[in-house]
């Protein structure tokens, strides 16, 4: 039975394996064709030639205080922004994804943000006008991904008897017998990464996330508190909230997200398209600084320093112990052996973690269609992905940052494979939807 509710939000190896070998593939990829000039001469590390000088030295980058923000924070803390000519760079902590969205809508001209860390689907939903005020379409670009893996789903102790992990069918009987209020499962933004992963997990075991349980939106910092007072039975989010729930003995981690979808994309950096168009060299410099920060974050000898920095009040504001999964150590909190050197540790650069493969964007938007958040207009979806996903900026920044050619993907899409055996091919999202039993759309 729920206690008095806290304040909730009303915010509504990654290696490419798909070779473009059909007429449809070539049409889809033609915009990218000019990107693969492998013999380009790279600049010296940290050298910003006159042609690459940013239009402005001042940028303001928004972030949410969780471990995924590490590349942004390290770019500031370790001087990588300054190294690429952005000596007046500022990073600004945001309280939630909804506030981040609102500030991106405003842009700097309206007192908001032009650049921010986001859940991967957010900029595409904004460009479609699906999550903006008055359904206004806000052109956005995504030039870089921040990280892969490292998330999870934590459930309350009420599911210990069912030994709830990846297979949600074990809780089907329990949730169907619930009297009064339904069990509540939370994510942090409607149609965002955690929402879609939570829904996929529930539905894969036959639990309808809209009918059998209640799927709600709660900002990350409020998840543990709401579970503690009985308002939540589970949540999907990034760290540091899982270890906090375990430390407070109110729940356990059912699984870490890489077990569900290996090397899955997580947060991204987005920019307003009008700002990026006006400041192309500054956009390139921001991405180069983030790339260098990502490489720093993925050096094992830097992880202890990284956790110390992230723990500061200005950033994640939690004990270092709550971020221990950054070292690859996973304590599920339910008696399973503690895992060391987990293959699902959060990565920022390794396994092409930085590269914004566009197949993931198609999957996220297809799942938004699945749950009735978007109409099944796949021409519009492909168009917005082509416009928003800016791999060309990533590659130009990689030249500026002297990224080794061995670290630059040769292919630009891959098929996605999930824990239940389902595969997603970006060129046939309708076939994918037809194979799903629980959905809100007819195809």
pLDDT reported for residue 48: 64
Last residue of a domain, one of 263, 280, 299: 263
Q: How many domains does the chain have?
A: 2
| Shared-domain flag, residues 223 and 281 | no
Strand pairing class (251-256; 151-156): antiparallel
Q: How many other C-beta atoms lie within 10 A of the C-beta of residue 401?
A: 23
Q: Which of 28-32, 105-109, 218-222, 424-428 is predicted least confidently?
A: 28-32
Q: Which of 44-53, 60-69, 258-267 is predicted least confidently?
A: 44-53
Question: Is residue 333 in some structural domain?
Answer: no
| Shared-domain flag, residues 227 and 132 | no
Question: Is residue 442 in some structural domain?
Answer: no
pLDDT reported for residue 38: 32
Q: How many other C-beta atoms lie within 10 A of the C-beta of residue 301?
A: 6
Nearest to 116 by CA among 156, 68, 78, 164: 68
The long-range contacts involving 161-165, CB below 8 angstroms and separated by at least 24 positions, are: 163/334, 164/254, 165/254, 165/255
Residue located via tokens 């416009």: 387
Contact 163, 252 (CB under 8 A): no
| Shared-domain flag, residues 430 and 283 | yes
pLDDT in tens, 315-333: 999 999 999 999 999 999 9
pLDDT reported for residue 410: 85
| Shared-domain flag, residues 231 and 93 | no
Mean pLDDT computed over every residue of the chain: 90
Token pair of 80 as six digits: 């990588």
pLDDT reported for residue 257: 97
Nearest to 371 by CA among 279, 433, 284, 289: 433
Q: Report how far apart the first and last C-alpha atoms of the chain are (Å, whole number).
A: 39
Judge whether residue 6 has pLDDT over 70: no
| Shared-domain flag, residues 381 and 430 | yes
Question: Is residue 70 in some structural domain?
Answer: yes
Q: Is the dihedral of CA 126, 129, 132, 136 positive or negative?
A: positive
C-alpha to C-alpha distances, 396 to 92, 142, 278, 402, nearest whole angstrom: 26, 14, 16, 10
pLDDT in tens, 98-119: 999 999 999 999 999 999 999 9
Question: Is residue 331 in some structural domain?
Answer: no
| Shared-domain flag, residues 185 and 237 | yes
Tell me the average pLDDT across 19-43: 35
pLDDT reported for residue 36: 32
Residue located via tokens 């490489």: 295
Provide the H-helix boundaries in 220-279: 223-228, 241-247, 273-278
pLDDT reported for residue 47: 52
Label residue 32 by pLDDT band (50, 70, 90). Answer: very low
Q: Is 38 exposed, middle or buried (0-12, 13-18, 19+ CB in 10 A)?
A: exposed
pLDDT reported for residue 180: 83
pLDDT in tens, 131-141: 999 999 999 99
Residues contacting residue 342 through CB under 8 Å, at least 6 positions apart: 256, 258, 325, 328, 329, 330
Question: Is residue 398 in some structural domain?
Answer: yes
Give me the CATH number covering residue 370: 3.40.190.10
Residues contacting residue 106 through CB under 8 Å, at least 6 positions apart: 112, 113
Strand pairing class (234-238; 423-424): unpaired
| Shared-domain flag, residues 75 and 175 | no
| Shared-domain flag, residues 142 and 48 | yes
pLDDT reported for residue 42: 33
C-alpha to C-alpha distances, 282 to 126, 322, 396, nearest whole angstrom: 22, 35, 12
DSSP conformation letters of 43-65: PPTT---GGG--S-S--EEEEES
Token pair of 91 as six digits: 């990073």
Question: Is residue 322 in some structural domain?
Answer: no
Q: How many other C-beta atoms lie within 10 A of the C-beta of residue 18?
A: 17
Token pair of 41 as six digits: 């001469």
Token pair of 415 as six digits: 């098929």
| Shared-domain flag, residues 283 and 423 | yes
Question: Is residue 121 in some structural domain?
Answer: yes
Residues contacting residue 177 through CB under 8 Å, at least 6 positions apart: none
Judge whether residue 7 has pLDDT over 60: no
pLDDT reported for residue 8: 37
| Shared-domain flag, residues 187 and 116 | no
pLDDT in tens, 50-81: 678 999 999 999 999 999 999 999 999 999 99
Q: Which of 18-27, 172-181, 326-335 is predicted least confidently?
A: 18-27
| Shared-domain flag, residues 116 and 217 | no
Label residue 215 by pLDDT band (50, 70, 90). Answer: very high
Judge whether residue 14 has pLDDT over 50: no
Q: Which of 51-60, 256-265, 370-379, 408-417 is predicted least confidently?
A: 408-417
Last residue of a domain, one of 200, 229, 263: 263
Residues contacting residue 160 through CB under 8 Å, at least 6 positions apart: 252, 334
DSSP conformation letters of 424-438: E-TT-HHHHHHT-SS
Q: What's the domain range around 68?
A: 23-147+265-317+346-434
Question: Is residue 76 in some structural domain?
Answer: yes
Q: How far apart are CA 402 and CA 395, in angstroms?
A: 10
Do you find a cis peptide bond into 163, omega within 30 degrees of 0?
no
| Shared-domain flag, residues 159 and 294 | no
Q: How far apart are CA 385 and CA 111, in angstroms?
A: 27
């Amino acid at each position: 039975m729920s206690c008095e509710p806290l304040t909730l939000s009303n915010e509504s190896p990654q290696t490419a394996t798909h070779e473009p070998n059909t007429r449809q593939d070539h049409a889809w990829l033609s915009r990218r064709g000019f990107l693969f000039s492998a013999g380009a001469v790279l600049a010296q590390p940290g050298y910003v030639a006159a042609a690459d000088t940013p239009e402005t030295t001042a940028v303001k980058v928004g972030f949410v205080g969780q471990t995924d923000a590490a590349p942004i924070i390290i770019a500031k803390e370790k001087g990588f922004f300054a190294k690429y000519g952005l000596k007046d760079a500022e990073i600004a902590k945001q309280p939630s994804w909804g506030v981040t969205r609102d500030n991106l809508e405003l842009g700097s001209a309206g007192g908001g943000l032009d650049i921010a860390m986001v859940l991967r689907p957010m900029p595409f939903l904004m460009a479609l006008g699906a999550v903006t005020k008055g359904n206004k379409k806000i052109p956005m670009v995504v030039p870089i991904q921040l990280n892969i893996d490292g998330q999870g789903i934590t459930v309350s102790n009420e599911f210990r008897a069912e030994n709830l992990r990846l297979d949600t069918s074990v809780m089907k009987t329990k949730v169907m017998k619930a009297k009064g209020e339904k069990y509540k499962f939370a994510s942090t933004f409607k149609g965002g990464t955690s929402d879609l992963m939570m829904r996929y997990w529930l539905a894969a075991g036959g639990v309808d996330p809209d009918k059998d349980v209640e799927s709600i939106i709660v900002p990350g910092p409020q998840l543990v508190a709401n579970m503690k007072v009985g308002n939540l039975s589970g949540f999907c989010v990034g760290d540091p909230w899982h270890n906090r729930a375990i430390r407070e003995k109110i729940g356990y981690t059912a699984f870490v997200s890489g077990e569900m979808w290996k090397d899955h994309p997580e947060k991204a950096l987005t920019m307003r398209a009008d700002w990026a168009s006006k400041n192309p060299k500054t956009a390139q410099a921001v991405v180069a600084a983030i790339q260098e920060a990502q490489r720093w974050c993925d050096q094992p000898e830097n992880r202890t320093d990284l956790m110390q920095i992230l723990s500061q009040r200005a950033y994640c504001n939690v004990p270092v112990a709550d971020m221990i999964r950054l070292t690859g150590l996973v304590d599920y909190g339910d008696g399973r052996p503690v895992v060391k050197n987990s293959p699902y540790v959060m990565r920022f650069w390794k396994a092409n973690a930085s590269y914004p493969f566009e197949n993931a964007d198609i999957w996220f938007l297809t799942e938004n269609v699945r749950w009735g958040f978007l109409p099944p207009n796949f021409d519009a979806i492909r168009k917005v992905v082509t416009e928003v996903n800016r791999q060309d900026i990533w590659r130009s920044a990689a030249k500026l940052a002297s990224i080794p050619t061995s670290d630059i993907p040769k292919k630009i899409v891959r098929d996605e494979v999930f824990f239940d055996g389902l595969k997603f091919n970006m060129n046939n999202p309708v076939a994918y939807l037809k194979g799903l039993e629980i959905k809100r759309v007819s195809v």
